[in-house]
């Protein structure tokens, strides 16, 4: 067998240069103009591949007189052809190309004979004609060769796996894969079970149906593919999907092919020939390598990198693997030839988790259950699928949500998956390492060495990270890691079983000591608690709290406190006043989630008990400033329970301990106490008093550098300005807030701020902008899974729809909202929605339904019953809740609506008396918007009495007050009667600015009158659309007086079904008994 040449000089079109290779290594690169070849002195022959793909051997020959000359050799039609090149000094790249051209002319004339189809296309890659030579050397045992390939094809996993049940369409990732085809390589990296294979299979299925993909070759790699021959045999076999003619070429390239006088053909050379073939694929090709992490043979990585370097535009490579493969990815990134989809993108979002469970379960889970599940699973798709397997035989929602709440990695089937699929596949050394280090919340090499007694933890961590285990890198230098929570829990459970409980506790305690020594207090406390060392944990907590109270604390800190302190035994906790106080703080703030306050996990008496213990301890130790802190927390607690008197008492007591000139650390408690006092003033409608206090609080938070609290206070100030009629000041607050929260990424506040801006845009009659802002807030509510924000956004949308003349849509939206809302869930939002519904009913002349809404609102406030009692006598006997559960500013707005109702009923004197009462009270406490609205409604009182002159004078006064703030919808929402009055007033307005303002209002009225008319559907139609056909049948039978069993017999359903449908009817009609449902049904003409 001829010996194989070790030196290869070839043209690389990717770099536009010549490369010299020795064996499989690239040793030099030459530009076409280079002419110094010192390496020629040390060798006697090499192979040359020119730009057009022609190859030949270059040999050094000595003549008799000692002179040295170089010649080129190439086999053609069974004979060796020789060409003179020249002396060493004459051997240039240009000369080598010239000789190659002479060989190429002979090749062309020999192969492309008349009447035969030859290789006429210009080759794009080196070795373009190698495949031609291989075809000439086709062996006689072609049948055996084809049999070998068929065997390889059967051995290779060359079909994409079947898609599982309940596959969620992830459009954002499918679009990423679409765009990825523009690059050379698509790389999907994530640990096992994150849905890499499922995603690609789903994409293939969808795009094949649309005929948007080239031919596909799929290869699921296995450990048996970990050799050059096995790997490339499998790759080239599945590549037959692109072009069956590649079959023989693949087999020959994988055998020790000899091409005299060149020696053995290198695999790289063969790959270039194969790729050159693939460059002529008419339909292109997509090669997908799944489970590439099983490949550990370096030569496979090297040859795949070589293939990537020479990949033709017709072929795209996609690799699915658990860790980043050792390929030249940096170079591909720089060139823009790599599309990467990694773990963060593959994680299921909260919305995707909810959508997946909605497919798999017979009912919709609560937001809290979804949130909890997302925190535990961390977007792990396989975990979600395993969970649904355990739930599929259960149909009780409460039981299922309880299962989700208690989900952890130590329970089946999660435990079985992690132990059998992950742990068991590791070496004995790695298994021991994983079990011992599973106790660590954060890992680095030094800590792991300390715990395991090893010295190679850095290497093991690097290997685990590269292999795509459930290990996440936490810092850029790559020194700190963490295990995924469920995986760590599973490993701890297995460690407890294999190593024993005492060994596990010892590991936790040693870890706690290491963390403390390295100033990682949070991890030290967690480890001490897990190691059941309560005294040590308590001491560490107290140290940490005294340090952290110097800094600004956020909700995460309080949540952390709540979790820690709840694990301490009472006998340890109650001896430490600082910890009791901190636990009370954690219980108060640690349960605040998503900008809303949720009930305490224990009775409020527990918080009171902790505060009492803390206060007694502080008095004994003389820490008076901490006493003030306990009083401030107590004030906040009572404020959230709507116990105003107690809240104010403790807030004022707390201020005695925290004067304004105290250092920043002490000002937190002063800020909380002032906020309680300001909040009570706001609820009671004393807007100017509340505004002044909030201004002081805002300045205090800024001086303390408590940015979150400062932003929250500024938002409240913006709302106060709206109520005080200071629209432009409110706009400034909102604009500042939006800029800052966008910069800091504080999405929690971005939604409410957008709604505030939507309210302003609405008032300034910028309806399109208002709709965009409300829609943006709605989108944020979905992203944050914030139900209250979503409902508030819908409320704004309903108002905008009404302003656009789409009142039917608005009424349907409001009715649907009331069905989804409950008084217990969000009383204030429920009341605001009822109020808006009453407004719209009144605007379309539906007095009966407007009254019904107002009666419901009157249940929350005795003042409203005073005015509504005369309208309907039975309203006087309605039970009012013991405490006023309607903010004064909303009570006043309802009173203004009652005044409108009285005007519509012709009871002018009563309406005017009510308006005068509202005006006096509103002006006194700075509720200027309500005061201005009361003055505007008085205009209609004068009109009703035919006192036109007085009406115009009153309207002029209102116009003067409204002009500086630019009110528009304030006037437009009053309709044509007001437009006529404003036209009458125009001739008597002489001030230029005021006249221009009036003209802008009149112009807006004209535009609204020219708007296409949208008929308002009857309220009965709107309501009945919310009732299903079956519910309408039940309602008709119920109104005839039939009992539940009689209705069930009539409709041939169960009594339970009838009960369920009647309760649904009650909710939709806002009633709670049969008589009321029948009355409402008759009034709405539903019968």
pLDDT digits (tens, 9 = 90+) for 934-965: 999 999 999 999 999 999 999 999 999 999 99
Mean pLDDT across 203-212? 78
pLDDT value of position 478: 64
Q: Where along the chain do its domains lie?
A: 7-133, 156-242+281-346, 350-407, 748-820, 1019-1083
Mean pLDDT across 226-243? 80
Between 881 and 349, name the one with better pLDDT: 349
Q: Which helix (H) or strand (E) holds 909?
A: helix 908-925
CA distances from 173 to 176, 178, 196, 202, 379 (A): 5, 9, 10, 10, 14
Percent of the chain topping pLDDT 90 = 22
Rounded to an integer, what distance in angstroms lies between the CA atom of residue 1029 and that of residue 374?
Answer: 38
Rounded to an integer, what distance in angstroms lies between the CA atom of residue 307 and that of residue 295?
Answer: 16
Rounded to an integer, what distance in angstroms lies between the CA atom of residue 92 and that of residue 35?
Answer: 5
Nearest to 457 by CA among 473, 479, 486: 479
Between 628 and 663, name the one with better pLDDT: 628
In the CATH hierarchy, which fold is given to the domain comprising 748-820?
1.25.40
pLDDT value of position 387: 74
Rounded to an integer, what distance in angstroms lies between the CA atom of residue 949 and that of residue 961?
Answer: 19
Q: Would you place residue 1087 in the very low, low, confident or very high pLDDT band (cuts 50, 70, 90)?
A: low
pLDDT value of position 126: 38
Tokens 């070496």 identify what position? 427
pLDDT value of position 110: 39
Average pLDDT, the chain: 79
Estimate to the nearest angstrom the gap between the alpha carbon of 532 and the chain centroid.
36
What is the per-residue pLDDT across 637-696, written as a single tens digit (0 to 9) for each? 888 878 889 999 999 988 888 776 665 556 788 888 999 999 999 998 899 999 999 999
**Quick check: 921 pLDDT over 80?**
yes
Rounded to an integer, what distance in angstroms lies between the CA atom of residue 496 and that of residue 493?
Answer: 5
What is the per-residue pLDDT across 393-432, written as a single tens digit (0 to 9) for each? 666 667 676 667 667 777 777 787 788 878 887 888 889 9
pLDDT value of position 156: 39
Nearest to 11 by CA among 107, 120, 140, 100: 100
The DSSP result for 539-597, as a single string, is HHHHHHHHHHTTS---HHHHHHHHHHHTTS-HHHHTT-HHHHHHHHHHHHHTTEETTEE
Q: Which helix (H) or strand (E) holds 30?
A: strand 25-30
The DSSP result for 401-425, as a single string, is HHHHHT--TTSTTHHHIIIIIIGGG
**Quick check: 123 pLDDT over 60?**
no
CATH top-level class of 1019-1083: mainly alpha
**Quick check: 880 pLDDT over 50?**
no
Mean pLDDT across 348-357? 80
Task: Give the DSSP letter of residue 225.
Answer: G
Query: In the CATH scheme, what is the code of domain 156-242+281-346?
Result: 3.40.50.300
Q: What tokens appear for 380 in the block? A: 């792990």
Between 1080 and 807, name the one with better pLDDT: 807
List the Cα angle 506/510/513 in 5-degree steps.
Answer: 145
Between 723 and 705, name the one with better pLDDT: 723
What is the per-residue pLDDT across 777-796, written as a single tens digit (0 to 9) for each? 988 887 777 888 889 999 99
Cα-only R_g, the chain: 40
Mean pLDDT across 877-894? 64
**Quick check: 15 pLDDT over 80?**
no
**Quick check: 883 pLDDT over 50?**
no
Of the given ranges (521-535, 803-817, 866-880), which has the lowest mean pLDDT? 866-880
pLDDT value of position 1020: 46
Rounded to an integer, what distance in angstroms lies between the CA atom of residue 464 and that of residue 110?
Answer: 57
Of the given ranges (53-57, 155-159, 879-883, 999-1003), which has the lowest mean pLDDT? 879-883
- pTM here is 0.59
Q: Would you place residue 127 in the very low, low, confident or very high pLDDT band (cuts 50, 70, 90)?
A: very low
CA distances from 140 to 143, 145, 252, 598, 613 (A): 8, 9, 12, 82, 96
**Quick check: 768 pLDDT over 90?**
yes
Q: Would you place residue 837 in the very low, low, confident or very high pLDDT band (cuts 50, 70, 90)?
A: very high
**Quick check: 884 pLDDT over 60?**
no
**Quick check: 257 pLDDT over 60?**
no
Task: Give the DSSP letter of residue 124.
Answer: S
**Quick check: 996 pLDDT over 70?**
yes
pLDDT value of position 124: 34
Helix (H, G, I), strand (E, B) or coil at 827: helix
706 φ, ψ (degrees, to nearest 5): -95, 85
Neighbours of 484 (CB within 10 A): 20
What is the per-residue pLDDT across 495-547, written as a single tens digit (0 to 9) for each? 988 999 999 999 999 999 999 998 888 899 999 999 999 999 999 998 888 87
Mean pLDDT across 277-293? 83
Mean pLDDT across 751-772? 94
Nearest to 412 by CA among 489, 500, 499: 489
Neighbours of 1029 (CB within 10 A): 8
**Quick check: 260 pLDDT over 60?**
no
Percent of the chain topping pLDDT 70 = 79
Of the given ranges (379-393, 607-621, 1026-1040), which has the lowest mean pLDDT? 379-393
Give buried/exposed letters for 441-459 (b at 16+ CB in 10 A, else e). bbbbbebbebbbebeebbe
Between 631 and 864, name the one with better pLDDT: 631
Beta-strand ranges (E) seen in 777-844 are none
Could you tell me the sign of the dihedral formed by the alpha carbons of 540, 543, 546, 550, in that order? negative
**Quick check: 451 pLDDT over 80?**
yes
pLDDT value of position 962: 95
**Quick check: 146 pLDDT over 90?**
no
Of the given ranges (697-701, 841-845, 1017-1021), which has the lowest mean pLDDT? 1017-1021
Q: Would you place residue 888 in the very low, low, confident or very high pLDDT band (cuts 50, 70, 90)?
A: confident
pLDDT value of position 134: 40
User: Pseudo-torsion of CA 964, 965, 968, 971, nearest 10°?
Assistant: -70
């Amino acid at each position: 067998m001829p010996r194989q040449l070790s030196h290869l000089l070839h043209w690389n079109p990717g770099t536009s240069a010549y490369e010299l290779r020795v064996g499989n290594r690239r040793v030099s690169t030459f530009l076409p103009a280079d002419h110094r070849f010192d390496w020629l002195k040390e060798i006697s022959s090499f192979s040359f591949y020119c730009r057009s793909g022609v190859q030949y051997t270059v040999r050094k020959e000595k003549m008799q007189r000692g002179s040295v000359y170089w010649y080129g050799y190439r086999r053609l039609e069974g004979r060796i052809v020789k060409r003179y090149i020249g002396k060493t000094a004459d051997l240039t790249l240009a000369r080598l190309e010239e000789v190659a051209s002479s060989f190429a002319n002979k090749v062309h004339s020999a192969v492309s004979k008349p009447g035969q189809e030859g290789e006429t296309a210009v080759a794009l890659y080196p070795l373009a004609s190698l495949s031609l030579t291989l075809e000439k050397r086709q062996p006689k045992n072609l049948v055996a060769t084809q049999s070998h390939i068929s065997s390889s094809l059967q051995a290779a996993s060359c079909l994409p796996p079947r898609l599982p049940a309940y596959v969620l369409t992830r459009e954002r990732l499918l679009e990423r894969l679409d765009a990825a085809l523009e690059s050379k390589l698509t790389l999907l990296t994530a640990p096992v079970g994150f849905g890499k294979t499922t995603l690609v299979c789903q994409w293939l299925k969808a795009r094949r149906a649309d005929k948007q993909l080239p031919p596909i070759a799929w290869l699921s790699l296995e450990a048996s593919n970990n050799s050059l021959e096995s790997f490339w045999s499998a790759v080239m076999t599945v590549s037959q999907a692109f072009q069956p003619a590649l079959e023989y070429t693949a087999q020959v390239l994988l055998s020790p092919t000899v091409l005299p006088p060149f020696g053995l053909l290198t695999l790289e050379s063969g790959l270039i020939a194969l790729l050159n073939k693939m460059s002529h694929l008419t339909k292109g090709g997509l090669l997908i390598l799944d489970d590439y992490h099983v490949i550990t043979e370096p030569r496979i990585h090297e040859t795949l990198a070589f293939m990537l370097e020479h990949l033709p535009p017709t072929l795209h490579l996609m690799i699915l693997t658990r860790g980043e493969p050792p390929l030249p990815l940096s170079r591909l990134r720089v060139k823009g030839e790599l599309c990467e989809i990694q773990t963060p993108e593959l994680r299921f979002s909260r919305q995707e988790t909810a959508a997946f469970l909605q497919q798999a379960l017979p009912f919709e889970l609560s937001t809290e259950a979804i949130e909890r599940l997302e925190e535990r699973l961390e977007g792990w798709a396989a975990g979600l699928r395993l969970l649904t397997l355990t739930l599929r035989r259960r149909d009780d929602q409460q039981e299922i949500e309880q299962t989700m709440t208690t989900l952890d990695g130590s329970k089946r089937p999660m435990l079985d998956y992690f132990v059998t699929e992950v742990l068991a596949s590791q070496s004995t050394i790695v298994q021991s390492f994983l079990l011992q280090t599973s106790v660590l919340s954060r890992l680095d090499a030094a800590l792991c060495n300390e715990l395991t007694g090893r010295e190679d933890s850095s290497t093991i961590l690097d290997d685990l990270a590269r292999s795509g285990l459930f290990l996440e890198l936490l810092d850029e230098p790559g020194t700190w890691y963490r295990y995924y929570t469920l995986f760590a829990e599973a490993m701890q459970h297995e460690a407890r079983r294999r190593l024993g409980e005492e060994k596990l506790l010892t590991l936790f305690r040693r870890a706690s000591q290491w963390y403390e020594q390295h100033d990682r207090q949070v991890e030290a406390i967690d480890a001490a608690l897990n190691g059941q060392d309560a005294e040590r944990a308590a001491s560490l907590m107290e140290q940490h709290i005294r340090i952290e109270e110097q800094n600004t604390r956020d909700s995460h800190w309080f949540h952390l406190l709540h979790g820690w302190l709840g694990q301490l035994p009472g006998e340890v906790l109650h001896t430490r006043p600082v910890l009791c106080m901190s636990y009370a703080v954690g219980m108060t703030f640690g349960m605040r989630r998503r900008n809303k306050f949720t009930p305490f996990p224990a009775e409020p008496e527990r918080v009171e008990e902790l505060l009492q213990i803390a206060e007694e301890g502080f008095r004994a130790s003389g820490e008076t400033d901490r006493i003030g802190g306990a009083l401030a927390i107590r004030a906040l607690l009572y404020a959230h329970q709507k116990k105003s008197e107690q809240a104010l008492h403790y807030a004022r007591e707390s201020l005695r301990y925290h004067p304004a000139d105290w250092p920043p650390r002490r000002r937190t408690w002063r800020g909380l106490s002032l906020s309680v006092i300001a909040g009570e003033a706001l609820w009671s409608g004393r807007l100017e008093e509340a505004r002044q206090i909030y201004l002081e609080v805002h300045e205090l938070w800024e001086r303390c550098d408590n940015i979150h609290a400062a932003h929250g206070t500024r938002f409240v100030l913006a709302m106060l300005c709206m109520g005080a009629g200071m629209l432009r000041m409110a706009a400034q607050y909102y604009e500042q807030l939006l800029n800052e929260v966008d910069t800091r990424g504080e999405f929690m506040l971005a939604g409410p701020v957008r709604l505030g801006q939507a309210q302003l845009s609405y008032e300034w009659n910028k309806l399109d902008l208002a709709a965009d802002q409300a829609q943006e807030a709605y989108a944020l509510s979905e992203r944050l899974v914030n139900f209250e924000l979503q409902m508030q956004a819908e409320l704004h949308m309903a108002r905008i729809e009404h302003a656009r003349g789409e009142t039917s849509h608005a009424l349907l939206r409001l009715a649907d909202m009331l069905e989804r809302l409950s008084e217990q869930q969000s009383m204030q939002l429920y009341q605001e929605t009822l109020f808006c519904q009453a407004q719209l009913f009144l605007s379309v002349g539906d007095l009966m339904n407007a009254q019904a809404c107002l009666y419901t609102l009157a249940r929350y406030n005795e003042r409203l019953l005073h005015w509504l009692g005369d309208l309907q006598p039975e309203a006087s006997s309605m039970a009012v809740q013991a405490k006023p559960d309607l903010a004064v500013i909303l009570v006043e707005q309802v009173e203004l609506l009652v005044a409108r109702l009285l005007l519509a009923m012709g009871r002018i004197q009563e309406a005017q008396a009510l308006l005068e009462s509202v005006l006096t009270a509103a002006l006194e406490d700075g509720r200027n918007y309500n005061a201005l609205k009361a003055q505007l409604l008085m205009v209609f009182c004068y009109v009703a009495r035919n006192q036109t002159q007085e009406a115009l004078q009153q309207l002029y006064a209102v116009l003067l007050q409204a002009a500086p703030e630019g009110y528009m919808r304030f006037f437009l929402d009053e309709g044509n009667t007001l437009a006529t009055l404003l036209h009458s007033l125009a001739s008597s307005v002489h001030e230029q600015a005021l006249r221009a303002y009036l003209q802008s209002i009149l112009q807006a009225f004209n535009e609204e009158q020219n708007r296409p008319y949208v008929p308002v559907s009857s309220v009965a139609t709107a309501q009945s659309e919310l009732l299903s056909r079956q519910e309408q049948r039940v309602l008709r039978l119920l109104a005839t007086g039939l009992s539940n069993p009689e209705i069930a017999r009539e409709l041939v359903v169960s009594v339970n079904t009838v009960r369920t449908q009647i309760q649904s009817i009650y909710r939709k009609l806002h009633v709670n008994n049969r008589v009321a449902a029948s009355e409402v049904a008759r009034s709405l003409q539903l019968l």
